[in-house]
Amino acid sequence: MKIEGRWALVTGATGGLGAELAGSLAKRGCNIVLSARRQGALERLAARLRERHGVEVLIEPCDLGEPGAATELHRRLTQRGVTVSILVNNAGFGLHGDFVSHPVDATDEMLRVNVQSLTALTRLFGSDMAQAGRGAILLVGSLTAYAPCPSYAAYAASKAFVLHFGEALHQELAGAGVAVTVLSPGIMATGFLDTAGHQPSALLRATMLSPARVAEIGIAALLKGKRSVVAGRMNQMTALSARLLPRRLVLRLMARTLANAG
């Protein structure tokens, strides 16, 4: 797929995996729209991408945890005359710990970002791409999508939605010339763990890949038209094991693996 000179929208773009995904596209000559909540961080990243890669970069501050945010973001870009050929739905966060201990409002916000806004953005921009007869959509899922995860119950369920949604759209939109790929990372050295309140064990940290490496895996898979990709061999083995082992054993293993280090 030729992406040089086309526009990509990257959500959750101020740091970690989002910033690396934007950089991976920019170095391939793609113009970038950066969207996240913090305008200052967006401006700093935009300046770096312009300097390093010589591409056009626009910023659109947006809080996808707010109702109607996805529709508003689509409207603003349409008004600016920006045709998005690549959508990277990266925005998302998790809550770690017992589900019943989380404030209802915090869980609602997480589901709006991880599921509702992702779905709305995919519908809005995916429809534009289908009408144009070309485009690509990368949905950022998670390794947790492959198994029920005690201590990440709602988050893992939201990512299971992303996985199944994306794989179904890969089939649905293929005839319209739109590629859809789901990227499922494992644990990474980003701000996710701090936001989630999770202190992973040394064993779990040993499986970490850098956000830059995960971004390259995801963009390469998207450009090859793959349905989905799990980043990292150890994570691929974990995903396969979750599908083959008895469910009761998987639950016990995930509970132990995802508990806070102590």
Active-site residue, 146 included? no
- Write down the catalytic residue from 125, 155, 165, 192: 155
1 inside domain: no
* Predicted local confidence at residue 14, as pLDDT: 87
**Cross-strand partners of 209:** 188
Q: Which pLDDT does position 122 carry in this prediction?
A: 98
Q: Is residue 12 part of a domain?
A: yes
DSSP per-residue codes, 212-262: HHHHHHHHHHHHTT-SEEESSHHHHHHHHHHHHS-HHHHHHHHHHHHSPP-
Which residue range(s) make up the domain with 155? 7-258
| Distances, alpha carbon 142 to alpha carbons 49, 65, 84, in Å | 26, 19, 24
- The β-bridge relationship of strands 84-89 and 135-140 is parallel
Q: Looking at the domain assignment, is residue 143 inside a domain?
A: yes
User: What is the tens place of the pLDDT at every residue in 30-60?
Assistant: 999 999 999 999 999 999 999 999 999 999 9
Number of domains in the chain: 1
pLDDT in tens, 91-140: 999 999 999 999 999 999 999 999 999 999 999 999 999 999 999 999 99
In a domain, 243, yes or no: yes
Closest CA to 227 of 155, 146, 172, 154: 172
Task: DSSP for 152-179, please give it.
Answer: SHHHHHHHHHHHHHHHHHHHHSGGGTEE
CATH of the domain at 148: 3.40.50.720
- Domain contains 2: no
